[in-house]
Structure 1
Amino acid sequence: MNELLACALAKAKQENRAALVTYLPAGFPTVAGGIAAIQATLDSGADVVEIGLPHSDPVLDGPVIQTADDIALRGGLRIRDVMRTVREAYQATGKPVLVMSYWNPIARYGIERFAGELADAGGAGCILLDLPVQESGPWRRHATEHGLATVFVVAPNTTDARLREVASAGSGFVYASSLMGVTGARDSVSDAAGSLVRRVRAATDLPVCVGIGISNAAQAAQVAGFADGVIVGSAMVRAILDAPDQASGLAAVRTLTTELADGVRQPHQVGRFDREWHPTGGRRRPLGDHP
């Protein structure tokens, strides 16, 4: 596991809260504008940031992130710009910076080359959206050599056997998708999220961070009651898309991040609970409150 990432997640746990993980694509709305927005989230309370590597066929992403990816690609984004974004975000804040990517761009760029450049830029690791665990050996070898975490994504329909396989191969944390379907803000958090976190914890001691569908402080507080981390992406992108200009977009991102950071610090936080679950509601008991 990448030490910086491990320390950030452990620090949140010691503070009796979930970690806040934000997501924004590189190159959106421009390379420089994207760097400024990413730094704004880290300066406003995010513990970790995921930087998306825009893809021309983002099959797992909803219309909001697809729009941002299209803007970045039409602006001429290249992988060197992604590495610049990682480097500047890390150097400015000292916080863990992950790249979230589909596998094809990395494979075409060169696995060893990508891993080496990401590590040189100060990156903490990669979230690999569509790389099957059984085909991930070459990547994981190079990631381990460079001290990079490898984060895999699981969903409510992931079998227990598959969860164990992902848990044994991954590092950093497990990304738990709160629902089936593409990314995007939702009006409420899926009931499946708590059950999935419980199942993941039965398979691994890695932290479990929940994403997809979380868009406001109330939802962040709800998820913080049972997860080690709360991941917010589409709502961040939407804040920039809806803004009339870059300055307004940065202000909106700062405001949203501050509200989310407050949300993960609400009562019923992660650090106050152990890993046992009530038979009803999926909510964990406070420490020392066992019958």
Structure 2
Amino acid sequence: MGRIEATFAQLKEKGERALVPFLTAGDPDLARTEELIHALVDAGADIIELGVPFSDPMADGPTIQASSERALAAGTTLAGILESVRHVRQHTNIPIVLMGYYNQVFRYGPERFCADAAKAGVDGLLLVDLPPEEAEEIGEALQTSGLHLITLLAPTTPSDRAMRLAAAAEGYLYYVSMTGVTGSRTIDAAAIAENVAELKAKSPVPIAVGFGIATPDDAKAVAGFADAVVVGSALVRVIEAYGESPELVSRVREFVRALKEGVRFGYTA
């Protein structure tokens, strides 16, 4: 059993849902990213999505785009991110999923990247612009390395395709709660719950919901029907606000701890 599967199994035994915070690697720099990952673990995070900064992040709104620009300006590279994961992995067993775009993996070399990522301690990949039907080029490398390719589904995904992809999902299924880019507006939890229930009937893996979740109350609402709650832009805004401050780590820890409490209180068995 891998780290992702073990985490969800442990949470199920405790009657909890997962909190999955997202932060951009290298924002404000990789050394601080490593500190922030440890702060997320301390605050109760269950899985970490680590964004790989990209010059043209088509799925990301202004907040995460700006974090990518800051990370790239700080000299962040994919190889450097893997090295940071390697450092972090010496101190924590928390699952880490890299979230980015296929161009980055293609330039690195799919086979070499998957091997290096697995060796560093990465558990999965979330490639926003790689449809599952077009993932053959990386599929064998993923299988050999043991990395999960996390599937994304959206409200606009046709029902028959959504059910087919849900049935083949691995690691966890990421349900995008709204159309548009990250951080663009707030969610309508009631409208999402029905779609998630349909996916649960087909998916062999837990379902995470992300995009638009910004507050503990949002997290509480989503935890009422999803297996995991993903928070990205709201956390990145905290990092942006305190990036040059000695309060950065403590502010991030405080914010994530409040989100975790929301997730705990939102779940009812």
| TM more than 0.5 | yes
Query: Which amino acid in structure 1 is aligned with residue 142 of structure 2?
Result: A
**In the alignment, what sits opposite 1:232?**
231
Whether contact under 8 Å (1:239, 1:253) holds in the other structure is yes
**In the alignment, what sits opposite 2:82?**
83
TM-score scaled by length of structure 2: 0.95
Alpha-carbon distance in 1 for matches of 2:236, 2:229: 16
**In the alignment, what sits opposite 1:192?**
191
Whether contact under 8 Å (1:89, 1:97) holds in the other structure is no
**In the alignment, what sits opposite 1:92?**
91
| Residues 73 and 7 of structure 1, relative CA distance in 2, 3 Å threshold | same
| Residues 213 and 23 of structure 1, relative CA distance in 2, 3 Å threshold | same
Whether contact under 8 Å (1:20, 1:46) holds in the other structure is yes
* Structure 1: tracts of 5 or more residues without a match: 273-291
Matched, 1:43 2:42: yes
TM-score scaled by length of structure 1: 0.88
Alpha-carbon distance in 1 for matches of 2:91, 2:122: 13
Identity %: 36
**In the alignment, what sits opposite 1:285?**
none
Alpha-carbon distance in 2 for matches of 1:8, 1:133: 24
Query: Which amino acid in structure 2 is aligned with residue 78 of structure 1?
Result: T
Whether contact under 8 Å (1:189, 1:219) holds in the other structure is no
1:103-156 deviations in Å (ceiling 9; x for gaps)? 111011100011000000011111111101111123222111111111011001
Larger radius of gyration: 1
Query: Which amino acid in structure 2 is aligned with residue 54 of structure 1?
Result: P
**In the alignment, what sits opposite 1:27?**
26
- Pairwise CA RMSD: 1.6
Count residues with an aligned counterpart: 269
Whether contact under 8 Å (1:13, 1:228) holds in the other structure is no
Alpha-carbon distance in 2 for matches of 1:135, 1:244: 38
1:41-72 deviations in Å (ceiling 9; x for gaps)? 12210000011111100010011100000001
Query: Which amino acid in structure 1 is aligned with residue 114 of structure 2?
Result: A
Alpha-carbon distance in 1 for matches of 2:46, 2:137: 29
1:52-111 deviations in Å (ceiling 9; x for gaps)? 111100010011100000001111111111102222232222111110111111011100
Deviation at residue 191 of structure 1 after TM alignment: 3.8
Aligned to 1:38, the other structure's residue is in SS state: helix
**In the alignment, what sits opposite 1:208?**
207
Aligned runs of 1:133-148 on 2, under 5 Å?
133-148=132-147
Aligned runs of 1:102-113 on 2, under 5 Å?
102-113=101-112
Deviation at residue 187 of structure 1 after TM alignment: 4.3
Matched, 1:66 2:65: yes
| Residues 33 and 246 of structure 1, relative CA distance in 2, 3 Å threshold | farther
Alpha-carbon distance in 1 for matches of 2:116, 2:247: 33
1:241-279 deviations in Å (ceiling 9; x for gaps)? 11263421211110011101111110543xx1xxxxxxx
Whether contact under 8 Å (1:133, 1:165) holds in the other structure is no
Whether contact under 8 Å (2:166, 2:202) holds in the other structure is yes
Q: Relative to structure 2, which stretch is displaced further, 139-148 or 173-182?
A: 139-148
Query: Which amino acid in structure 1 is aligned with residue 263 of structure 2?
Result: V
| Residues 189 and 86 of structure 1, relative CA distance in 2, 3 Å threshold | farther
**In the alignment, what sits opposite 1:153?**
152
1:18-45 deviations in Å (ceiling 9; x for gaps)? 1011111111101111111122112210
| Residues 139 and 86 of structure 1, relative CA distance in 2, 3 Å threshold | same
**In the alignment, what sits opposite 1:276?**
none
Aligned to 2:208, the other structure's residue is in SS state: strand
Deviation at residue 192 of structure 1 after TM alignment: 3.2
Alpha-carbon distance in 2 for matches of 1:191, 1:103: 33
Aligned to 2:162, the other structure's residue is in SS state: helix
**In the alignment, what sits opposite 1:288?**
none
Alpha-carbon distance in 1 for matches of 2:86, 2:191: 36
Whether contact under 8 Å (1:64, 1:234) holds in the other structure is yes
